[in-house]
Amino acid sequence: MTKWSDIAGSLMDTSTMIGAVFVAVLWALAAIITGRAVRLAIHRYLDRTQRAGADPTGIRFLGQLARVVVYILAFVGYAHVVPALQKLGTASLAIGGAASVVVGLAAQSTLGNLIAGVSIVLYRPFKLGDRLRVFLPSGPETGVVENIDLGYTTLRAADKRRLVIPNNIMASQACVDLSLLPPRTSCNVSFYVAAGSDLDQARKILLDAAKAHQQIAQIDGCYLTRVTSKGAIVTLAASCADPDAAPGVVSDLLQEAKKKFDAAGVKIA
């Protein structure tokens, strides 16, 4: 019995290398278990709030933040029980202060995204499920908010592209919330335009066809969604208010665009 107590005592002695590693493993396991427990509790709470019709945006974000805090506290707690780390922290306080300034400057973009994420959750300019029009360096984009995490906001575009936007951009720019508009049905059409054809002309033809159609309620834009050696896929993102009319609208757009393509010499691959 004394032998086992001696072994246990040596394993818990943080002044030795073996003890420090063993305690580190225990703290890591505790942090992982606690983090998973927090995530499970958040998911259960989310299920209840979603059934009650509440907005889950802030709960998801705070759940991610809580897990990060758990890991940080675990590391701080471990540093306090290991004498070597206590001495190291005391001896290198000045160096740590200077290093923190350097790290802060290097990570200012990351910290800015985190603070912007907190601002989005607090002020709620938009929430999960909202349909937004955002203005990016590549041009205006429209998508549904899928996730807001510690650094980025994720939107799903009408053509299934995933838009990952830093939180500081989402918090500082003007976004158009289209969620309050009447529900609409996608009437997207795509053409594989052959290499050598005028892509600008192809996009103009698709946009003009959509503008001329009486049942098109909204035009989100016309984009290049894929480029290969044989050509490029041009996609018109548009929608109509009547779901039953959507198949006919798509057929009309395809027919009109094909006729205009032939007249303009735009070849389809």
- Name the fold adopted by 185-264: Alpha-Beta Plaits (3.30.70)
Residue 157 CB-half CA count within 13 A:
21
Amino acid at 66: A
The answer to whether 242 touches 215, Cβ cutoff 8 Å, is: yes
Domain extents for the chain? Answer: 2-91, 125-177, 185-264
- pLDDT of 207 reads 93
- pLDDT of 80 reads 66
What CA–CA distances, in Å, run from 74 to 21, 23, 70, 100, 104? 14, 11, 6, 20, 22
Residues facing residue 145 across a β-bridge:
155
pTM for the full predicted model: 0.43
- pLDDT of 106 reads 46
Angle between helix 108-123 and 57-81 (nearest 10): 130
Measured CA to CA, the distance from residue 269 to residue 266 in angstroms comes to 10
Q: Which CATH number is correct for 125-177, 3.60.15.10, 3.30.1330.60, 2.30.30.1060, 2.60.40.2380?
A: 2.30.30.1060
Written as tens digits, the pLDDT of the chain (269 aa) is: 455 555 555 555 556 666 667 667 777 777 777 777 777 776 676 666 555 455 555 566 666 667 777 777 777 666 666 665 555 445 444 444 544 554 454 456 667 777 887 788 777 888 888 888 888 877 788 888 988 887 889 998 877 889 999 988 888 888 888 777 666 788 899 999 999 899 999 999 999 999 999 889 889 899 988 888 889 999 999 988 787 888 999 999 999 999 999 999 999 98
Amino acid at 35: G
